[in-house]
Amino acid sequence: MRGHDWINTCLPDELILEILRRLDSKASHDASSLVCKRWLGLDRLSRSTLRIGASGSPDIFITFLAQRFVNVKAVYIDERLSVSLSVNSVQGKRRDRDESVLTSFKLHYTAQKRPDKEEESESLSLTDAGLTAVADGFSKLEKLSLIWCSNVTSFGIMSLGQKCTFLKSLDLQGCYVGDQGLAVVGQCCKQLEDLNLRFCESLTDVGLVELATKCGKSLKSLGVAACARITDKSLEAVGSHCKSLETLSLDSEFISNKGILAIAEGCPLLKVLKLQCINVTDRALMAVGVSCLSLEMLALHSFQQFTDEGLRSIGKGCKKLKNLILSDCNFLGDRGLEAIATGCTELTHLEVNGCHNIGTIGLESVGKSCPRLTELALYYCQRIGNFALTEVGRGCKYLQALHLVDCSSLGDEAICSIAKGCRNLKKLHIRRCYEVGSKGIIAVGENCHSLTDLSLRFCDRVRDEALIAVGQGCPLQYLNVSGCNQIGDAGIVAIARGCPQLACLDVSVLQNLGDMALAELGEGCPLLKDIVLSHCHQITDIGLSHLVKNCQMLESCHMVYCPGTTAAGVATVVSSCPNIKKVLVEKWKVSSRTKRRASSVLSYLCVDL
Amino acid sequence: MMQLFTQTQLFGNVCYIVCWCIQELVRVFISYLPMAELVGPRLYSCCNCRNQVALHDDVISKSFQGRNGRAFLFSHAMNIMVGPKEDRQLMTGLHTVADVYCCDCREVLGWKYERAYEETQKYKEGKFILEKSKIVMENW
């Protein structure tokens, strides 16, 4: 029956609320809030998360939000995100009139709320008043994230602590808060599990010790970085009070073995440990190997003094280790990695980044002893040779992701063994491995039928025949062949015909790519969302028009340094794609008409610095 | 402007409140915009490929002279290769420099000051010169 509403009259509020709570995407929530006033009110009750970027007058804004969304449990405020709302995006013939009246209304509104003009310019970022408003308005708050809110001080945190006692997760990254704030949080928020103090430069031991003493029992995760006045003393307090600590991330020159030893001995449930502390040595790592037997993830970053001895003791003790990251640890060698491989056979993720003493032998033992490996990343490992990956291919049947950057000794042989042995491979990223050529990639195309993500950047020996094989065998959704300058139309055409699920494509810096490939892409890949055509000298407006004719889902297009394209091409892209969100192009290549119609979508490259 | 406001009192007010509300609501729901668009430092890239080589935050000076025109002095550069050291007589005196290349496309972007032999030039040691004509920036 037209004009008659059945659902709204039959269902009570609570039921509709339950239904709305089960909607999973934000778009669905937004759509449901536009149905009618009742649903708008109920939808507001069902929202549990708010994300706020840097906006003008955030304090008032928060009060406004608190009145509307009363059931919010998580608030994320990130002052790094700047949102500039262009009134130009309002389209239509009566635009001029709308614009001027909108401005007049805004002035009217601000005049009402803030009678004295001086206040108008100051609170462009969240202040203590705003934080107090958050605390007052969202009393059921469980998660709060304040990222780089530079005007927030201890005072705001104190009022937050006193009012939001159910707080479970607090992220103060980059906020200049002091010890008193942290102390009050410790006294009042007894359910605090997650605490992130990265770049909180004014914190000292006093605050952290106080917090650890008061609410240490519930604390599960702690992160500290670039805090010059947090020393071993704090870690000793954490070690003695935070028995349930599972995750610890430390980036500091002021922490030494004493602190880590205290943690190792005091927190036996530790699962994740990330260290970037140049003054910590093997002694600490050995203590971790002896006491933290539940350790699942270990990450060691940047020029630390650890040697194979430390790794050996980890291999002996932490049998549950699943994830290991070794980044720029120049004293670690093959023996250490061997010890980890033979000791921690449950290893699933391994990343070796710039550790110049780790070579083929270390990786070989990983291939032999860690059958459950699913992800392997080797960055800047010039010494690792083909044989290492042969072993990995033989032993790690479940490998799903392989990342290789700047491994100049790895060639076709290695990639062939991986392809033949790891048939479940889903992601393969190779960058600047100059010995890898078509042969290896053909093997991938022939054997890895689950591959959805392929990236071959600046591997200049790869040719069209490789892409033809990949097009035939791999259901790609993401392809990046930037800089592989032997690839031309033939290869991309094969991909266009063979991979209809392709969503993201990067063919930048390909000198031989022409319009034909774009035309085929337009026909073969209707789901294409993101495309990068920068630095392709042979493509023209014709190719672009063929591409966008059928790729209606296109959301982003990068087309800088394409001398064959003109303002007409830009206009075609902007007008043909209803979902377009970003077009990167040179400013002088955009006609004034396109600028007017689509300025919110255009992103300019500054070549004239 | 005041006249415009009074003219459209009733129906007008509702429209404008809706516009303003939409604007405020969009501010709240920015999480729908892909992160890559909004967040991030301003980056300089190689002119020849898309490699990101420096942060705007690391610019120390914009008024240096390169081989072919203006150049910027950066405290850090990333994704670059440093070539062999050589002694060069520059406008400001004798320096030991090493050419700096984009790690992907190997385009020469500038150089790195390894050593300076005059006290007044010592501050340049360890820093990078990237020529304006070789780097581009995305303006968001």
% pLDDT > 90, chain A: 58
Euclidean distance between CA atoms A363 and A148, whole angstroms? 40
Mean pLDDT, rounded, for B123-128 = 94
- Res A123: pLDDT: 53
pLDDT digits (tens, 9 = 90+) for A475-484: 999 999 999 9
Predicted confidence at residue A298, as pLDDT, reads 95
Q: Write the pLDDT tens digit of every residue in A386-410.
A: 999 999 999 999 999 999 999 999 9
**Do residues A156 and A133 touch, judged by C-beta distance below 8 A?**
no
Instruction: For residues A496 and A521, give the distance between their C-alpha atoms in angstroms, rounded to a whole number.
Output: 5
Determine the distance from the C-alpha atom of residue A508 to the mean position of all C-alpha atoms in its chain, rounded to a whole number. Answer: 23
Which residues 422-461 on chain A approach chain B with CB closer than 8 angstroms? 431-432, 457-458
Taking the Cβ of residue A534 and every Cβ of chain B, the question of whether any pair is shorter than 8 Å is answered with yes
> What are the phi and psi torsion angles at A145 (to 5°)?
-125, 115
Q: Do A603 and B26 touch (CB under 8 A)?
A: no
Of B12, B29, B138, the CB nearest to A584: B138
Per-residue pLDDT reduced to its tens digit, B10-33 = 666 665 565 555 555 544 443 333
Helix then strand count (H, E) for chain A reads 25, 21
Helices (H), A503-557: 515-524, 541-550
Q: What is the average pLDDT across B119-127?
A: 92
Contact B136 A607 (CB under 8 A): yes
Neighbours of A244 (CB within 10 A): 15
Is pLDDT at A88 greater than 50 in this prediction?
A: no
Which residues lie closer than 8 Å to A121 by C-beta, 6 or more apart? Answer: none
Q: In terms of pLDDT, which residue wins out, B82 or A141?
A: B82
* CB within 8 Å of B60: residues ≥ 6 apart: B73, B74, B75, B127
**Contact yes or no for B38 and A53 at CB 8 A:** yes
What is the Cα–Cα distance from A285 to A256, expressed in whole angstroms?
A: 11
In this predicted structure, what is the pLDDT of residue B30? Answer: 38
How far apart are the C-alpha atoms of A317 and A339, rounded to whole Å? 11
A301's enclosing H/E stretch is strand A297-301
Interface of B with A (CB under 8 A): 1-2, 4-5, 8, 12-13, 16-17, 19-20, 23-24, 26-34, 37-39, 47-50, 62, 70, 72, 103-105, 132, 135-140
Residues in chain B: 140
Q: In b/e form, how buried is each residue of A469-503, taking b as 16+ CB within 10 angstroms?
A: bbbebbebbbbbbbbbbbbbbebbbbbbbbbeebb
Question: A190-227, pLDDT tens digit by residue?
Answer: 999 999 998 888 899 999 999 999 988 999 999 999 88
Half-sphere exposure of residue A188: CA atoms within 13 angstroms, side-chain side: 18
Q: Answer yes or no: are the C-beta atoms of B101 and B107 closer than 8 Å.
A: yes
CA torsion through residues A363, A365, A368, A369, sign: negative
Task: List the single residue in B31, B72, B136 with the smallest CB-CB distance to A605.
Answer: B136
Nearest residue in A to B35, CA atom: A81
pLDDT mean over A56-61: 76
| Candidates A65, A98, A609; nearest CB to B135 | A609
Angstrom distance (rounded) from CA A481 to CA A476: 13
Say whether A609 and B1 touch across the interface (CB within 8 A): no
What is the per-residue pLDDT for A121?
Answer: 41
Looking at the complex, does the CB of residue A51 fall below 8 Å from at least one CB of chain B?
Answer: yes
CA distance B136 to A495: 31
pLDDT of residue B16: 57
Provide φ and ψ at A519, rounded to 5°. -65, -45
The full DSSP string for A443-461 is HHHHH-TT--EEEEET-TB
User: CB atoms < 10 A from the CB of A92, how many?
Assistant: 8
Q: How many CB pairs under 8 A join A and B?
A: 118
Question: What band does A86 get if pLDDT is binned at 50, 70 and 90?
Answer: very low
Residues 6+ apart with CB under 8 A from A36: A8
Tell me the nearest-neighbour CA distance from B106 into chain A, angstroms.
10
Of B50, B103, B137, the CB nearest to A609: B137
Interface touch B50/A535, C-beta < 8 Å? yes
Question: At residue A120, does pLDDT exceed 50?
Answer: no
Burial of B7 (0-12, 13-18, 19+ CB in 10 A): exposed
- Helix (H) / strand (E) element for A530: namely strand A530-532
Task: For residues A404 and A425, give the distance between their C-alpha atoms in angstroms, rounded to a whole number.
Answer: 14
% of chain A surpassing 70 pLDDT? 92
pLDDT at residue A116, as a whole number: 40
Q: What are the φ/ψ torsions at residue A194 (nearest 5 degrees)?
A: -125, 125
A residues 354-373 lying closer than 8 A (beta carbon) to B: none
Task: Tell me the one-letter amino acid at B6.
Answer: T
Per the prediction, chain A carries an average pLDDT of 87
Q: Please list the residues that pair with A479 across neighbouring strands.
A: A454, A505
B74: left (phi over 0), alpha (psi -120 to 50) or beta: beta
